[in-house]
């Protein structure tokens, strides 16, 4: 942990003028206090654990279809492209009521929204504008033909309960799509690399005991994060941070999240992936009003996606090593 004298600036990932002219929203993660709570409370009901439970059949149907496509050919596939990436993308598309061909565009837009190093600034701007225009059309279609899906819940947050501008809602929907697709697919790939590694002991345990899938997801989330994220935060009040001293109010504090999730005081054999830990793991990156809005959906996708893969392809194994250590771009497998 490090403490800095200079306060952190508010998070705004894009400069003014980089988004479509009607877009006056900012990312929820960059807000704090009353503004954060106002935006979050407007849409929180659309992402509760109970709401996500009703989406599990959709997740299962998408996962089954993707596995059907894989097993219809030769006994081998590139798992990131065939399963990890399309699963959350197609689930989000189904929940929003968009055709599959359109849902597949979310991945490209999500990469641009996350400032992917593979695109130029001009390409990112073009993709983000396409993304924003599509969201605007999605709102228009939802208002013209209301239904009972996620898009209707989100529109109600703007039109029914009020409190959000059109730009704020659009920015929120865009960021939810990014976090519920790109982040989930990345974690899925890292998790499968861990579970299929070595002698496949962890994978074989999940195959033998399907009820261990939630515990496996907990451990993957705890141990499998990319690097050691170190978000910058402002101390809300004078706080003693042993053994570093005192962080005075309004001083910037850097928090090593993965280190906190791997402390020996909190976890027996913290560097090991164990499926027999007591209780559920809670992420260190946020909780309560700062918990990720899409966390319940992401966890359901990981649990169901992993469980169905183990059920239908128990002999799954890596046919070559992943192309990168922390963030697999490729996971060649056979079964």
Asked whether residue 87 carries a pLDDT value surpassing 90, the answer given is yes
Whether residue 304 has pLDDT greater than 70: yes
Per-residue pLDDT, averaged over 25-40, amounts to 63
Mean pLDDT score of the chain: 77
Window from 27-41, 127-141, 168-182, 288-302 with minimum mean pLDDT: 27-41
d(CA 146, CA 143): 6
- Per-residue pLDDT band for 287 (boundaries 50, 70, 90) equals low
Which are the contacts of 76, defined by CB distance < 8 A and separation ≥ 6? 319, 332, 333, 334, 335
What is the rounded (10 degree) CA torsion for 220, 86, 305, 72?
Answer: -130
pLDDT at 300: 94
Q: Read off the pLDDT of each residue in 127-155 and give the average, rounded to a whole number.
A: 86
Of residues 300 and 289, more confidence is placed in 300
Which whole-number Å values give the CA distances from 295 to 148, 221, 223, 282, in the listed order?
A: 21, 11, 17, 11
Provide the whole-model pTM: 0.79
Q: Given a cut of 90, is residue 265 above it in pLDDT?
A: no
Which pLDDT score, from 0 to 100, does residue 327 have? 54
Among 17-26, 51-60, 148-157, the range with the most confident prediction by mean pLDDT is: 51-60
Show contacts of 150-153: CB within 8 Å, 24+ apart: 150/46, 150/95, 150/96, 150/97, 151/95, 151/96, 151/97, 153/43, 153/45, 153/46, 153/51
CA distance 153 to 279: 32
Residues in the chain: 335
Nearest to 95 by CA among 38, 45, 154: 154
Q: Going from the N-terminus, what domains does the chain have, and what CATH number goes with each? A: 23-224+294-334 (1.10.630.10), 226-260 (no CATH)
Q: Are 175 and 47 in contact (CB under 8 A)?
A: no
């Amino acid at each position: 942990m490090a403490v800095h004298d200079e306060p952190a600036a508010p998070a705004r990932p894009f400069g003014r003028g980089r988004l479509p002219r009607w877009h006056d929203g900012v990312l929820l993660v960059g807000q704090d206090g009353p503004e954060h709570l106002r935006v979050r409370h407007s849409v929180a009901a659309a992402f509760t654990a109970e709401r996500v439970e009703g989406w599990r059949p959709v997740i299962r149907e998408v996962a089954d279809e993707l596995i059907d496509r894989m097993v219809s050919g030769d006994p081998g596939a590139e798992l990131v492209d065939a399963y990890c990436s399309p699963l959350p993308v197609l689930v989000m598309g189904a929940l929003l009521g968009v055709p599959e061909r359109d849902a597949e565009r979310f991945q490209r837009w999500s990469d641009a929204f996350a400032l992917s190093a593979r695109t130029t600034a001009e390409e990112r701007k073009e993709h983000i504008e396409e993304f924003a225009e599509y969201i605007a059309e999605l709102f228009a279609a939802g208002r013209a033909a209301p239904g009972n899906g996620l898009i209707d819940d989100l529109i109600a947050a703007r039109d029914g309960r009020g409190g959000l501008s059109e730009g704020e809602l659009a920015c929120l929907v865009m960021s939810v799509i990014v976090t519920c697709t790109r982040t989930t697919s990345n974690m899925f790939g890292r998790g499968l690399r861990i579970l299929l590694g070595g002698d496949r002991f962890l994978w074989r345990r999940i195959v033998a005991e399907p009820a261990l899938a939630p515990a496996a997801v907990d451990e993957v989330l705890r141990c499998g994060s990319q690097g050691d994220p170190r978000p910058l935060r402002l101390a809300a009040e004078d706080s003693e941070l042993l053994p570093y001293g005192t962080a005075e109010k309004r001083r910037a504090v850097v928090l090593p999240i993965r280190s906190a999730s791997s402390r020996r005081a909190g976890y027996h054999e913290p560097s090991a992936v164990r499926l027999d830990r007591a209780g559920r793991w809670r992420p260190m990156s946020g909780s309560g009003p700062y918990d990720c809005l899409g966390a319940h959906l992401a966890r359901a996708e990981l649990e169901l996606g992993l469980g169905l893969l183990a059920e239908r392809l128990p002999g799954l194994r890596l046919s070559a090593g992943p192309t990168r250590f922390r963030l697999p771009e490729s996971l060649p497998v056979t079964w």
